Amino acid sequence: MAELKPCPKCNGKAEIVDNNYMWKYIHCTQCGNYGDIYLAKDREKMIKSWNRMQEKMAKYIDKQAAIDALGEEPEIWCETDEEAATRNQWERDKVAIEAVPPADVRPVIRGCWINEERVGFGSVEAECSNCGRRMIYNPAWICCPWCMADMRGGDAE
C-alpha cells in the first residue's frame, strides 16, 4: 500500500477524509489544501494522485516570476561588448522561459447545493449550482455525483 506524503503546498500532515459514504478525499490538516475526490474503493489511486501532486508542485513555476527573476531589462543601446553580451543573454533567457509550455493543471469546479427542499423522511432535494441537476442528496456529499463539482464551501457562480 502506498504511503501518504505530506501536503505539497505547506508540507503539513495529510489525512484521508472518510465520511462513510461513497466519496473520499485527502486534505491537509495545516493549510486545508485538498486533493481530487475519489470513490471509496479507489483508495490506492487517490493516494497515488495526492503523492504525484507533490512532484508536480515542485516542478511548477510562474513564467512571469521567472522572467522577473532575470532582473531589470538591460538598455537597448550598449556601449561595450560586455553590455551587448549581457543584453543578448537576457533576451535568450527570456525567450527560453516564454517557450516553456504551461503546467498541466486543471481548474477546480466549485458549486453548492441550492434551492433545497425537505422531502419525506428527512431527505433533502436540491439543485447543483454547477450542472443544474436536481436530486435527493446526502448533505455529507462533498461533490455533485453528476458533474463532480466540489461542494465543500464553494460559491455558486
Measured CA to CA, the distance from residue 72 to residue 74 in angstroms comes to 6
Domains held by the chain: number: 3
- Report pLDDT for 1: 66
Q: pLDDT tens for residues 92-150?
A: 988 888 887 766 566 677 888 888 888 877 778 888 888 888 888 777 677 787 777 88
Domain that holds residue 55: 14-59
Residue 138 covered by a domain: yes
Measured CA to CA, the distance from residue 108 to residue 106 in angstroms comes to 7
Asked if residue 155 and residue 120 are part of one domain, the reply reads yes
Contact 150, 143 (CB under 8 A): yes
Instruction: For residue 157, name the pLDDT band (cuts at 50, 70, 90).
Output: very low
Asked if residue 111 and residue 76 are part of one domain, the reply reads no
Q: pLDDT tens for residues 39-75?
A: 667 778 888 888 887 666 656 666 777 888 888 888 7
Residue 123 covered by a domain: yes
Report which of residues 106 and 30 the model is more confident about.
30
Asked if residue 146 and residue 115 are part of one domain, the reply reads yes
Q: How many CA atoms lie within 13 A of 68 on its CB side?
A: 5
